[in-house]
Amino acid sequence: MIPVKKVSIIDQVVESIKESIDSRIFEEGKKLPSEKELCTSLNVSRSTLREAFRVLQTMGYVELKPGKGAFVQRLKFHNSINVRDWFRVNAPRLNDFIEVREAIETLAVRIAAEKHTKEELEEVIAINNKFIKAVESGDVPKIARLDEEFHQAIVNMTKNSLLININNLVGKEFEKYRSISFKVPKNALSALEPHKMIVEAIKNRDSESAARSVVYHLQKAKTDMEDVINE
C-alpha cells in the first residue's frame, strides 16, 4: 500500500490557488480576490491565507504589493526562467545584498549567541530540522521559506526592533534570490553545513564562532551563484 501523506492546510490552500491560476480562473497580471473573499471561499483564517501567499510568492505564482494586495505573476516567468541567465543579470545587485546581509547578520548572530533563551534556541533548531527535511525531499518553495524563517528567527533573538526592521527590508529583496537559487539542488545542499555550524555556535554561546559561520554561509552562497554563472 502507498503511505497516505499528511497535507497541511497551508499546502491545501497553496494548491487550490495555484490550480486556479494554472487554469486561468485567476488571470495573469490581475489582482486576486480580497483576503476576506478568499478566506470565506476557502474556509480558512487570514493567517493561513497570508502564509499560503508567502509560499505562492516564493514559487513565483503571486506578487504581494503592500497596501494593494496579491497579484498573479506572469506564468511564463514561473515556468521557463533560466537560473543561469537570471544570476548573470542580477549578480552585481545580489553581491551588494550579500555584503549588507553580512553586516546585519554577523551583528545579529553575535547578540543572539549571547542573549538567546532556551525557547528561542529550540525554535531555531526546529526550523532547521524542517529545512533539512525540505532539502531531502527537494521541495524548493519550502526550502526557500524555511531558509528565510531560519535567518529571521536568529535576528528576532536580538529583540532589537531597528535591526529587525532593517533585516525585514533586506529579506524582502532577497526572496526572489532564494526561490531561484534553490532550484539548483547543490545550492540547497550547500546551506546544510553552515546552518548546522550557526546553530552549534549559538547553542554554545560562542559569538565569534557564530559570526564566522554566518560569513562562511554567505560567502558560500556567493560562490554557488558564481559557479552557476560560470557553468
Cα 4 from chain centre? 27
Q: For residue 209, what is its C-alpha cell?
A: 564562532
Q: What are phi and psi of 211, to 5 degrees?
A: -65, -40
Return the exposure string of 30-54: e unless at least 16 CB atoms fall within 10 Å of the residue's CB, then b.
eebeeeeebbeebebeeebbebbbb
C-alpha 170/C-alpha 94 separation (Å) is 11
C-alpha 119/C-alpha 102 separation (Å) is 25
- N residues, the chain: 231
Decide if pLDDT at 80 tops 60: no
Domains of the chain, each with CATH number or no CATH? 9-78 (1.10.10.10), 82-230 (1.20.120.530)
Instruction: State the DSSP H helix or E strand holding residue 197, giving kind and residue range, or none if neither.
Output: helix 192-203
Instruction: State the DSSP H helix or E strand holding residue 63, giving kind and residue range, or none if neither.
Output: strand 62-65
Average pLDDT of the segment spanning 127-155: 93
Q: Which one of 17-21, 135-139, 169-173, 211-215 scores highest in mean pLDDT?
A: 211-215
Q: Which amino acid would we find at residue 74?
A: R
Helices (H), the chain: 9-22, 35-42, 46-59, 75-80, 83-115, 118-137, 140-156, 161-181, 185-190, 192-203, 207-230
Model confidence pLDDT, tens digit, residues 37-70? 999 999 999 999 998 888 888 777 888 888 888 9
pTM, rounded to two decimals: 0.68
**Lowest model confidence (mean pLDDT) among 17-21, 22-26, 93-97, 226-230:** 22-26
CA dihedral 80, 81, 83, 85 (to 10 degrees): 110
Average pLDDT of the segment spanning 143-168: 93
